[in-house]
Amino acid sequence: MAEKQWIYIDGSFVDSADAKVSVYDHGLLYGDGIFEGIRAYNGRVFKLDEHMDRLYNAAKAIALDIPLSKEEMGEVVLESCRKNGIADGYIRLVVTRGRGDLGLSPKKCPKPTVFCIAATITLYPAELYEKGLNIMTATQRRNKATIIDPQIKSLNYLNNILARIEADRVGAAEALMLTEDGLVAECTADNIYIVRKGEIWTPPIHLGILEGITRSTVIELAEKNGYTVREKEFTVFNLVTADECFLTGTAAELIAVTEIDGKVIGTGKAGPVTKALLALFQAHTREESSGTKI
């Protein structure tokens, strides 16, 4: 028999079979809610404070009053790991608007729903970190930040999912999403970077991308180790003709992209800058200062 998995939901830990939300929850009915994907490494939750800040900033942006303080929510994450014996794994923390009625108004939702899942995750096999990913350019464009700001990690990921469907149809590992003007924005679940003549370029936040915590960490590590990082607009042409390309995200960490739309990028394998940054990131995740002890 599989070991019991404990899920935190609204103040209690319950068996995963008993972890339920109402069919009237506005997170389910309308995607009205927010979430964080968080990693645990070597008995520590990586960048817990930064994840809490982003969660509560997103809540403020959508006028959602979380019924726990940041400190209490952080303890929910830590206790979820303890209860499930997670020293290295992935945590999904979700806050929905809560149970309401079939109308849109949040006023009919008196109490948000909070749940937390702590489990293990493997997004890509180890060999792809050397070989690199084959991605494609989606026809689905990235949401404009002037309509729904992608910096809010909302439960409505349909924009990303439609692009992901395109990738799945052609057997690509990821889908690149462009802005309405054809500029590179991000992939469906990861931030993107290119390396050109030793410089690292990544799209700026104003193009409508998520300000990823792994993104911020990698930029900081790169600059500390002598790399020039530019938050700069660029096109698919710049990506195809780059020396290297890589993605970052909570689940993926840092992984090379070596082909897009059938065109080889660089040497067709993970390049030296990508490998160096991955090593720096992995070393950083093992530092005591990078996480909160479980």
* Active-site residue, from 131, 153, 224, 232: 153
- Structural domain contains residue 259: yes
Question: Among residues 119, 154, 186, which one ends one of the domains?
Answer: 119
Residues 137 and 252 in one domain: yes
The Cα–Cα gap between 58 and 60 comes to: 5
- Crossing angle of helices 272-285 and 213-224, in 10° steps, is 110
Residues 261 and 133 in one domain: yes
- Structural domain contains residue 132: yes
Residues 64 and 147 in one domain: no
Residues 168 and 270 in one domain: yes
Q: At a CB cut-off of 8 Å and minimum separation 6, what does 276 contact?
A: 225
Q: Give the C-alpha distances (Å, rounded to integers) separating 32 from 25, 29, 289.
A: 9, 8, 34
Question: Among residues 98, 119, 140, which one ends one of the domains?
Answer: 119
| Burial (CB count <10 Å: 0-12, 13-18, 19+), residue 83 | middle
**Residue at token pair 């729903």:** 113
Specify the CATH number for the domain of residue 231.
3.20.10.10
DSSP string, 207-274: GT----HHHHHHHHHHHHTT--EEE----HHHHHTSSEEEEEETTTEEEEEEEETTEE-TTSS--HHH
**Letter string b/e over residues 24-63, b meaning 16 or more CB atoms within 10 A of that residue's CB:** ebbbbbbebbbbbbbbbbeebbbbbeebbebbbebbeebe
Please give the pLDDT value at position 121: 84
Q: Into how many domains does the chain fold?
A: 2
Per-residue pLDDT of the chain (294 residues; tens, 9 = 90+): 457 899 999 999 999 999 999 999 999 999 999 999 999 999 999 999 999 999 999 999 999 999 999 999 999 999 999 999 999 999 999 999 999 999 999 999 999 999 999 999 877 888 999 999 999 999 999 998 888 888 899 999 999 999 999 999 999 999 999 999 999 999 999 999 999 999 999 999 999 899 999 999 999 999 999 999 999 999 999 999 999 999 999 999 999 999 999 999 999 999 999 999 999 999 999 999 999 999
**Range of the structural domain that residue 61 is part of:** 6-119
Residues 277, 85, 116, 215, Cα dihedral to 10°: 0
Q: At a CB cut-off of 8 Å and minimum separation 6, what does 96 contact?
A: 21, 25, 26, 27, 28, 32, 33, 112, 113, 155
The Cα–Cα gap between 209 and 229 comes to: 17
Please give the pLDDT value at position 1: 40
- Structural domain contains residue 82: yes
- Structural domain contains residue 293: no
Specify the CATH number for the domain of residue 57.
3.30.470.10
Residues 278 and 158 in one domain: yes
Question: Among residues 58, 89, 119, which one ends one of the domains?
Answer: 119
- Structural domain contains residue 52: yes
Q: Is 153 a catalytic residue?
A: yes
Please give the pLDDT value at position 134: 97
Beta partners for residue 12, in sequence order:
9
Residues 32 and 135 in one domain: no
Residues 98 and 199 in one domain: no
| Burial (CB count <10 Å: 0-12, 13-18, 19+), residue 191 | buried
Residues 73 and 136 in one domain: no
Residues 152 and 252 in one domain: yes
- Structural domain contains residue 255: yes
Residues 61 and 159 in one domain: no
- Structural domain contains residue 292: no
The Cα–Cα gap between 74 and 249 comes to: 21
Residues 66 and 171 in one domain: no
- Structural domain contains residue 256: yes
Residues 29 and 136 in one domain: no
